Amino acid sequence: MTKTIIVGNRLPVKIHDEGGQLSLRSSEGGLATGLSSVHSGGDNLWIGWPGMAIHEDQQEKIVSELKGLNLIPIFLTEEEINNFYEGFCNETLWPVFHYMSTYAKFDPVHWQSYQDVNKKFCDKVLEHAEPGDVIWIHDYQLLLLPGMIRNERPDASIGFFQHIPFPSYEIFRLIPWRKELLNGITGADLIGFHTYDDVRHFLSTATHLLPIRTSANIITSEERTIVVESFPMGIDVTKFEQSIQSENVQKHIQTLKETFPGVQLVLSIDRLDYSKGIIPRLQAFDNFLTEHSEYLGKVSLYMIIVPSRDTVPQYQQLRNEIDQLVGNINGRYRTVGWEPVYYFYRSADFETLVSLYATADVCLVTPMRDGMNLVCKEYIACRINNNGVLILSEMAGASKELIESIIVNPNDIKEISSALVEALTMPAEEQERRMKQLRQVISKFNITQWVKIFMERLNEVKELQNSMKAKLVGPITEANIKKQFTNAQKRVLFLDYDGTLVGFKVRVEQAYPDTELYDILNSLIADPANKIVIVSGRNHETLEEWFGQLPIDFIAEHGAWMKLHTKEWETSPNLTDEWKKEIYPVLNLYTDRTPGTFVEEKSFSLVWHYRKADEGLGELRANELTSNLRYIAADKGLQILPGNKVIEVKNIEVNKGRAVNSWLNQNEADLILAIGDDHTDEDIFKALPETAITIKVGSNISSARYYLNKYIEVRKLLKTLAG
């Protein structure tokens, strides 16, 4: 019986020290609520830190109590909490990922602790994980964990979800241990973020820093196919809606209405953090009162700041600024019966929050950066009468979904001020129209749906990986291929050239056929049952020069040209090269910037070669070029093909698979053998019938049925078939 193992920095319970006695309480966080149905079912587990340092004498008791809840604790020492959690997580990753890099510290001691704690998590996961289990890892505290588990369990099913933003490449590369972090994340099979922007930033960063290829949202490494997607996280809408009907919440709501008669409430709830945009929000409210004096005495900002890390200098300074700004606003505008800002520096219980959500006329959520931000969704869930207005920062992940809110730039004080006026004067009909649509969104994409979609997608990715795994051509497989080959009466061999029949050379013109290759081809040609078709990205003139004397057929330049032995070269119809004049300057620009690179022109494609460039620089420029070309190519009907130290741009109609099918429509064969090493050869493998013998060279991640490691093994197989 397989199980799901959830791994997060924190367990979904809080441990409290009450006079030396430790007690457990359930966490009311969104993640804990959403995943409760997963970890509590069957043998499923949740592994994480209990949130405080536990003395060794009490650890066994905690383990025993948590075991009954399907929870497995990871115990951290005070030193690990300081260096791993407070250090690397909160002083390195948090500021960098929230674009506040000036606050970041890059301490090798913190980095070492981060590695050690991730290893501690890894050991605990491996202790409980069995073959077939699904492992779902959460957030930035455990970026190394997917890779660590993958190294020990190559076939494990691993999902990773990041709940905070992922920064652009220019920001992320500031981290000295950037490659190690990326290698850790890409140990997962499915990598999830809240928004497509985060997906885009991650793919760009990974292709810049790692030797991988990407196509759309799929990463291809030497070992696996990895999918990167956005999964906007939801909330438990029903829980909030039902809570409003409770007697205690109704009493709270009545008390709030009696406390603020005739006053419209603007609600603001945040954890103390520089990423939340609290200072500009207060400045905007100040501007609102200054420029719209008609609202004095009629509108109040009800602001809750949840304490967080207030022993850290930046946070102490932020709190002092908030205190001073609130004091300044209240000092200038306060009247006997009215307070402009009601400011509470404390956490609030669930019933209090629900009461405030249900009462506030406006909810003001303006973070500078936020992965999702669930406060805005909680506010919407509590507006069961379809009234109220949400003002939301465009920098919050939720803004991509909640488009019926008033979207603002959190840095634009004037815009936030104007948004407050718009919200406070919005007609009831308009409020209802907007709120109904917002409530439909959060009801449909709730926390249960988020969990369901992620887990289903992870299963799909594992199925995709398994379908893309070719089988090594060993002695038994080779004997079976030989037997099929011998029994066939009409055989066709579709053979790629570079990397398949010959090895790669630093200079492409040096990869000419040698005597051994000619001997192998002649041996195959000697049997009239064999027909050889060389299918290559090479230009047709070169193939003619090298093999024109042999009675074989050609598909050149990835299918742009075809030549049957007894006929002339023909091009695919309706092809154009008009696009070259726009692409050529881009390729030349990168050639000028990258010593050792050059551009090769073919009839209907352009190829940028970087085999002779410095390895690191070549990979960097290739990834930059691919990103640059992707936007141009989409408009021009072009395809970008990353190959072995080459980037090729060609007409999208040019396709090896189509060309091979075209050849088969004109010729008969009762056995088809196709061998290739390139990304473009996958089109052949996919186009051929399942009965075809398809072989990928250099990788087992392929649509081909089989794989060989290098061209030398291809030659050996062809000799066996010829003999």
For 350-397, what is each residue's pLDDT tens digit?
Answer: 999 999 999 999 999 999 999 999 999 999 999 999 999 999 999 999
Question: For the CA atoms of 208, 209, 213, 214, what is the dihedral angle to 10 degrees?
Answer: -60
Residue 461, in any domain of the structure: no
Q: Given 651, 671, 705, which residue is the final one in a domain?
A: 651
Residue 659 has a CB neighbour count (10 Å cut-off) of 25
Residue 460, in any domain of the structure: no
Across the range 191-211, mean pLDDT stands at: 92
Asked if residue 116 and residue 255 are part of one domain, the reply reads: no
Report the predicted TM-score, pTM, of the whole model to 2 decimal places: 0.76
Across the range 456-478, mean pLDDT stands at: 86
Asked if residue 241 and residue 225 are part of one domain, the reply reads: no
Buried b vs exposed e over 529-562: b needs ≥16 C-beta within 10 Å? ebbbbbbbbbbbebbbebbeeeebbbbbbbbbbb
The region, left, alpha or beta by phi > 0 then psi within -120 to 50, assigned to residue 547 is alpha
Residue 699 has pLDDT above 90, yes or no: no
Q: For position 423, which CATH number holds?
A: 3.40.50.2000
Across the range 111-123, mean pLDDT stands at: 97
Per-residue pLDDT at 87: 95
Asked if residue 540 and residue 397 are part of one domain, the reply reads: no
Residue 218 has a CB neighbour count (10 Å cut-off) of 15
Asked if residue 676 and residue 532 are part of one domain, the reply reads: yes
pLDDT confidence band for 560 (50 / 70 / 90): confident
Asked if residue 261 and residue 297 are part of one domain, the reply reads: yes
Per-residue pLDDT at 156: 94
Residue 450, in any domain of the structure: no
Asked if residue 88 and residue 208 are part of one domain, the reply reads: yes
| DSSP at 81 | I
Asked if residue 167 and residue 244 are part of one domain, the reply reads: no
Mean pLDDT, the chain, integer: 90
Give dist(CA 639, CA 661) in Å, integer.
20
Helix (H) or strand (E) holding 253: helix 247-259
Residue 446, in any domain of the structure: no
Asked if residue 324 and residue 193 are part of one domain, the reply reads: no
Say if residues 297 and 264 touch (Cβ distance below 8 Å): no
Asked if residue 224 and residue 131 are part of one domain, the reply reads: yes
Q: For position 597, which CATH number holds?
A: 3.30.70.1020
Mark whether 496 is an active-site residue.
yes
Q: Given 408, 431, 454, which residue is the final one in a domain?
A: 431
The one catalytic residue in 496, 553, 677, 681 is 496
Residue 453, in any domain of the structure: no
Asked if residue 118 and residue 106 are part of one domain, the reply reads: yes
Asked if residue 608 and residue 503 are part of one domain, the reply reads: no
Per-residue pLDDT at 54: 84
Residue 451, in any domain of the structure: no
Asked if residue 269 and residue 339 are part of one domain, the reply reads: yes
As a whole number of Å, the CA-based R_g of the chain is 31
Q: Tell me which residue range forms the domain holding 319.
A: 237-431
